[in-house]
Amino acid sequence: MKKIVVALAALAFAAPVFAQQQQQPTDHRAQFGLGVSIIPLLPTTQSVALSPTIEVYVPIQAGPNLRIEPSLGIHTNDQPTASGQPDRSNITLGVGVFVQQKVAVPVDLYVGGRLKLNFASTNPGDSGTDFIIAAAAGGEYYLVPKFSVGLEGQLGFYSNSSVSGDDSGFFTNGLGFLRVYF
């Protein structure tokens, strides 16, 4: 009789643990996050140090394998008045749409594209809009469930306004990302 009571007690304690394991979702990815891209500094041109626009990304999980990632970037380059160089500012609005595939518990791969508009201006009073469209593919490694590092490669087309150099062409670019999820 003692053995039956011990066996029933063990079964009673094991059943809830087993049920919890069965009910846990297989995907622990969060639905919303914030990220920042890490890109190298651009080379110095005409004695003016140019640096890339710092962009903040907002990854939104729109479906099981669909991510929409709006972005906002701001860059200002204020020059001393004695230099004779104009002050410059850029505001970049973008969106990326990606299909994701989980390849391992801590790793996702994604492929899709990015579209960006850059509103460039100089002081005194010249302004223009630059256009960027790019195919992108990347991967993301989750160091912990709410924090990831990633790499992305881009192949795209740009069209700059007269403020940014009035040119267009194709480009390749590599980005590193840090993303935090909520």
Question: Phi/psi of residue 115, each to 5°?
Answer: -125, 130
> What domains are there in the chain, each with its CATH number?
30-181 (2.40.160.20)
Whether pTM exceeds 0.85: no
Task: Please give the pLDDT value at position 18.
Answer: 41
Q: What is the pLDDT of residue 147?
A: 95
Q: Per this entry, what is the length of the chain?
A: 182
Rounded CA gap, 133 and 181, in Å? 26
pLDDT at res. 161: 79
120 alpha carbon, distance to own chain's centre: 22
Tell me how far apart the 2 most distant CA atoms of the chain are, in Å: 97
Q: Please, which residues bridge with residue 150 across strands?
A: 140, 177
What is the pLDDT at residue 9? Answer: 46
Which pLDDT belongs to residue 127? 84
Q: pLDDT, tens digit, for every residue of 29-84?
A: 678 999 998 875 444 333 334 446 678 999 999 999 999 999 999 888 777 767 66
Q: Is the pLDDT higher at 89 or at 82? A: 89
